[in-house]
Amino acid sequence: MDFHGKVVLITGGSRGIGRSIALEFAKCNASVIVNYRNNDKEAEKTIEEIKKLGGYCETIKGDIKEYDFSKKMIQYIIDKYGKIDVLINNAGISKVGLFIDMTEKDFDDIMGVNLRGVFNTCSNVVKHMIERKEGNIVNISSIWGGVGASCEVLYSASKGGVNSFTKALGKELAPSGIRVNGIQPGVIDTDMNKWMSQEDRKALIDEIPISRFGEGEDIAKLAVFLASDEAKYITSQIISVDGGYI
């Protein structure tokens, strides 16, 4: 798949799944723009790895749950590169714990990044895509958005929202030549799961038919495929990549 001349914006690309997606697009010759929130060192590593591949990457630091930041970031990209061909909404946070311990702030933080963040970018990118009558959006959701997880009620609700948002927006934008799809990862080996003990990991792996955690690359390959012309008849879909877990 060749993305030469295409501009791809990936939120949350300093680490984890987002970095893998950034690398995969760079391998396909895209111009990659990576947003992240705090972690300058990790963002720098994403740039270095992309440079090693001979690719192009620019990073933009800022909080995706802030509408004004999102608007300014997208305007900056449009002014500098002239367009955004592909938007990957990947930035996300989770907080594991009993529902009774979750606070209003937890609700605002999780919904703010995971769901409002997707609204913020789409709201600002879609109008440019509609003008050009082309574009691709891939939202990184979670298997818990489909089935719900105990001790991740707010996270599950935010990702359930992302799933419905994706399906609805895909239908609305299809006549404008824009496709919108979602990916539901299972358990992927990133910082998000670092809180697990070795025993927790082993017990969880025993429940996954493919007998391992996923890698960022497992998600990245599908993200690139969905954004490519190879997937030109696929829209409004939520696809699980979970080693058969659910």
- Yes or no: say if 68 and 119 are a contact pair by the CB < 8 Å rule: no
- Binding flag, residue 77, ligand NDP (CB under 6 A): no
What whole-number distance in Å separates Cα of residue 182 and Cα of residue 122? Answer: 13
Minimum distance from residue 122 beta carbon to ligand NDP (Å): 15
- Binding flag, residue 215, ligand NDP (CB under 6 A): no
- Binding flag, residue 9, ligand NDP (CB under 6 A): no
One symbol per residue from 168 to 187: x for binding ligand NDP (CB under 6 A), - otherwise; what is it? -----------------x-x
Minimum distance from residue 24 beta carbon to ligand NDP (Å): 13
Q: Catalytic one among 36, 155, 233, 245?
A: 155
- 19-48 residues near ligand NDP, rule: CB under 6 A: 35-39, 42
- 104-163 residues near ligand NDP, rule: CB under 6 A: 113, 140, 142
Which among 171, 156, 161 has a CA at the least distance from the CA of 119?
Answer: 161
- Binding flag, residue 223, ligand NDP (CB under 6 A): no
What whole-number distance in Å separates Cα of residue 65 and Cα of residue 33? Answer: 18
* Closer CB to ligand NDP, 2 or 191, in the complex: 191
Task: Using CB under 6 A, count the residues that bind ligand NDP.
Answer: 32
* Closer CB to ligand NDP, 130 or 189, in the complex: 189
Minimum distance from residue 127 beta carbon to ligand NDP (Å): 21
- Binding flag, residue 193, ligand NDP (CB under 6 A): yes
**Known catalytic membership, residue 155:** yes
- Of 90, 156, 235, 240, the one binding ligand NDP (CB under 6 A) is 90
Q: Which residues of the chain form contacts with ligand NDP (CB under 6 A)?
A: 11-18, 35-39, 42, 63-65, 90-94, 113, 140, 142, 185, 187-188, 190-193
